[in-house]
Structure 1
Amino acid sequence: MGLGGNVQYVAAVRLAGDGEEGDVILSAVLGKEDAMECETRLKALVRAVGTHQKVTVVDRSRLFSSHPARAIHCEVRAGERILYVLYTTVKFDQARAFRIVREVYRLLEALYGAQLAVVKRTELEGDEELMQELPEIVRRCERDELEELKSEVDEVKEVMQSNLE
Structure 2
Amino acid sequence: MPDCFCLCAVLLGLLILTLAGCIFYSGLLADITVKTCCPTFNKLTFAYKFKEGAYKDSGELLKEARCIGLGLPCLGVFYEDPKKISAPLCRYAVGCILSEGENKVDEELLKQCKSSGFSVFSFPQVTHVISTSFRHTALFSTYFRVRRVYPQLERYIKVRRV
Give your verdict on TM over 0.5. no
Q: Which has the higher helix share?
A: 1
Q: Which has the larger radius of gyration?
A: 2
TM-score (norm 2): 0.29
